[in-house]
Structure 1
């Protein structure tokens, strides 16, 4: 949503309602459907600003600015768009959207599916496996970079499963996760490469230099908490099954009405002309 919001100029419909993020999001969605041709699809939102992670750490994401009001006003319209495309939307108290998508991804993996998560959030890279991939936007709202296990190792020099161990030591400024003060990214990466995980590192502190050993011992609790905060939950009790996530034909009438309200003339024209039983996912350039 943020990428769609910031990638395009700010514009609004004839009633003055901001619509830039809705348009950018819709373009991204149509391109995704056309290019990836998924059999199943789902979208997740944060239910609120406070989750179980905030209960564990009052500082978690405390440095994050509030969502711009212009974007907040467009969230209901984005959800209307998803509803018109008949795409299931998930939100749940106490959990972040990351946890919901992580849980759905693991469900898909268990069903034998190849799962792709579209997100610019690097935290999702911890979920990458032989069946789960991450599509990270590269530029604006057009290009994406597919991360598999090999790409993650190439980019970060550690495996996907070690990302949370790395963050436990190095921290994550974007989420205000402290890690171990004095252990930067380079040192954290070297330690995880040598000891594989935070737990194994803590069991073998005697192998470290005196300075590093004392430093990590001083912040053991903080390192463990940092790993917990960085770990995406993949066991959220979501009431759904894979069949409910099957891609469906969008509701053309609802889309037409929505696009008309938003003054998306190009999209409105295309969907009005398409055949009733078949959606036409074209690359739309006209608003």
Structure 2
């Protein structure tokens, strides 16, 4: 979804929606597929899967009714591209992965854990920094930057160099800071600088609470006044790595593209994607 949204808004700002013959906008879809192809080429991937969010809410909405509740509805030109993108990804031979009641991030975390047990190394390509909590020796994260093929690449070393905490501690950091985009406040009055200092000194939320009397009066008061929301935010921020899905790695084997792929692009009116695949086919 991060790739699709990024692609849509990159061209929507100048009204370049690139309608196909059926009248369906394709700017987001074409950019999404181009991002996918670029990442595969850069990474030289053996296996590829695409994880999606689904409508209808998740277990986080059951925990906190305000979770993502204030996000505006997608533009009319984007809405039909959600299902269209999945349909096209499937037609091009990619496996779409999702689970009702869970977010794509949860699917990504669950699969990364599963493939780790099979001694496989996973790289996640996204625009969502929440995924960075999954970084470890077996899971790298590439965060999209502006343009195609431009990534900020994270492994455990590069993450610690930038954030000065461990990847899993990002959960505790977000619990204190909250997330305005996702609609939960964390602890009111505690921002990134203070939250980072607390995590660096105490390690996690629970240890901060256990030693709250050591903090300044202002920090202690803020935390004590928001203990319930702090606990809620901690649970909301953590990616669930126990989603009830099974996608064996062999099913994700990447077969590459053929002339049939060009026919698929022609059928869906994907001129940009067709050019990219023609380059790959030489």
> Which among 247, 259, 266 is matched to residue 260 of structure 1?
266
Do 1:44 and 1:89's aligned partners in 2 also have CA atoms closer than 8 Å? yes
> Which among 15, 20, 23 is matched to residue 22 of structure 2?
15
2:233 pairs with 1:230? no
Tell me the equivalent position of 2:33: 26
Do 1:153 and 1:160's aligned partners in 2 also have CA atoms closer than 8 Å? yes
1:68-147 equivalences under 5 Å are 68-147=75-154
Distance 1:268 1:204, change over 3 A: closer
Query: What's the CA shift string for 1:264-286, capped at 9, x where partnerless?
Result: 34654776xx7xxxxx7369xxx
Query: What's the CA shift string for 1:240-264, capped at 9, x where partnerless?
Result: 22222222244643x3333113333
1:122-271 equivalences under 5 Å are 122-250=129-257, 252-253=259-260, 255-265=261-271, 267-268=273-274
Unaligned runs of 5+ in 1: 275-279
1:31 CA displacement? 1.4
In structure 1, how many angstroms separate the alpha carbons of the residues matched to 2:116 and 2:128?
Answer: 20
> Which among 3, 8, 18 is matched to residue 6 of structure 2?
3
Tell me the equivalent position of 2:64: 57
Report the secondary structure of 1:22's partner residue. Answer: helix
In structure 2, how many angstroms separate the alpha carbons of the residues matched to 1:30 and 1:241?
Answer: 22
Worse-matched range after superposition: 58-67 or 93-102: 58-67
In structure 1, how many angstroms separate the alpha carbons of the residues matched to 2:202 and 2:130?
Answer: 21
Do 2:122 and 2:138's aligned partners in 1 also have CA atoms closer than 8 Å? yes
Report the secondary structure of 1:160's partner residue. Answer: coil
Report the secondary structure of 1:71's partner residue. Answer: coil
Worse-matched range after superposition: 8-17 or 107-116: 8-17
Query: What TM-score comes out, normalization by structure 1 length?
Result: 0.89
Query: What's the CA shift string for 1:55-85, capped at 9, x where partnerless?
Result: 1101111221122221121122211221123
Unaligned runs of 5+ in 2: none
- Aligned residues, how many? 275
1:49 CA displacement? 4.0
Distance 1:83 1:192, change over 3 A: same
1:40-51 equivalences under 5 Å are 40-51=47-58
In structure 2, how many angstroms separate the alpha carbons of the residues matched to 1:10 and 1:148?
Answer: 36
1:159 CA displacement? 1.5
Distance 1:260 1:182, change over 3 A: same
Tell me the equivalent position of 1:37: 44
Query: What's the CA shift string for 1:91-141, capped at 9, x where partnerless?
Result: 211101110011111112222122110111010000101111111111133
Worse-matched range after superposition: 34-43 or 5-14: 5-14
How well do the aligned residues superpose, as a CA RMSD in angstroms? 2.0
Do 2:171 and 2:234's aligned partners in 1 also have CA atoms closer than 8 Å? yes
Tell me the equivalent position of 1:277: none
